Amino acid sequence: MKTRRVEVRRHFKAHISLVTQLHYSHRLPSMILIIASTKDVASMNIADQIIERYSFEKLSDKFQESNIYFKRVANRDAKLVFLNQELIHSQHITEHFTPELVVFVSRHASVSGFPTLSVHVPGNLGKAELGGLPKRVSVCPASAMKNALLELARTKKEDSLPYEVSYECTHHGPSLDVPAMFVELGSSLEQWKDVKAAEAVAHSAMAAISKDTKYPTVLGVGGPHYNERFTKIALTTPRAFGHIISKYAAPKADPDVVKLCVQRTVEKVESAVFDWKSLRSIERQRIISALNSLNISIEKA
């Protein structure tokens, strides 16, 4: 009788385990999400190019009153959705979708208005002043970002676009628990309306979601918002950059934030590359100490 109860108990546990696995697998990320904003001229321009150049299918399903677009890309479902709000305020998007990668197509704005094609990870190293959560960065898809950066550089050269191609540092919301990245067109209305530039960003977004090339990955520390040194390294060597902590964000980079930037990267972070002279000694030492505790080696750019 005792043996029978043990067998029943084992069978019950196995059944529960199977049910749990099936339930979990049902919730696993199974698609790629491209997100545009109806409030953003550049975003809509880029989305139009994605639909036209890559033959996305218009579905009857809607999200926030706009039709969803669909395409199979590299054996995965890709959906293009439109938000009726600024993209930095999309913190709750994963309550509606379960993506394995989110690519935001967006404008970039700056006072200089300098023509720029850029990529970066969203997230906040300090306060959440522009969406997202305080001291919370999104998961960084470093290889996907590099694929996008390479595509921007390729189309800039082939089409003789008068734009700079660049990594931007990690900044603004949302702070997502899935891999997320922005590809942006900047930096003023003239560029946001530029169809050829929007096409370049559309190609870069598609490169991010369709190419599976993986790269050795490093953390970037220091330098300006647009880091020319890190961009050059990514474009001329096999390396990809994950999160980039700019010199103006370095004072906010306490050990917990540094640890987040390392851990919330899809790829293993092999080392940290410092834009050495841009940082104050006290900032360098604090960040280096945090990286030492994670067994991350240090290099000077």
Kindly tell me if the per-residue pLDDT of 290 is higher than 90.
yes
Residue 293 counted as domain residue = yes
Amino acid at 257: V
Residue 5 counted as domain residue = no
**What digits encode the pLDDT tens for the residues 229-277?**
999 999 999 999 999 999 999 999 999 999 999 999 999 999 999 999 9
Say if CB 215 and CB 141 are below 8 A apart.
Answer: no
In terms of C-beta density within 10 A (0-12 exposed, 13-18 middle, 19 or more buried), how is residue 32 classed?
Answer: buried
N-terminal to C-terminal alpha carbon distance within the chain: 71
Alpha-carbon span 234 to 181, nearest angstrom: 16
Q: What is the pLDDT at residue 113? A: 82
Q: What is the CATH number of the domain that holds 95?
A: 3.40.630.50
Residue 157 counted as domain residue = yes
Strand 66-73, strand 76-83: pairing: antiparallel
**What digits encode the pLDDT tens for the residues 48-95?**
999 999 999 999 999 999 999 999 999 999 999 999 999 999 999 999
**What digits encode the pLDDT tens for the residues 8-18?**
344 333 333 33
Q: What is the pLDDT at residue 140? A: 98
Residue 19 counted as domain residue = no
Could you tell me which residues come within 8 angstroms of residue 285 by beta carbon, excluding any fewer than 6 positions away?
none
Residue 2 counted as domain residue = no
Residue 13 counted as domain residue = no
Report how many domains make up the chain. 1
Residue 86 counted as domain residue = yes
Q: What is the pLDDT at residue 7? A: 39
Q: What is the pLDDT at residue 110? A: 87
The pLDDT mean for the chain works out to 91
Residue 14 counted as domain residue = no
Alpha-carbon span 286 to 17, nearest angstrom: 45
Phi, psi values for residue 60, rounded to 5°: -80, -20
Domain extent at residue 228: 29-300
Length of the chain, in residues: 301
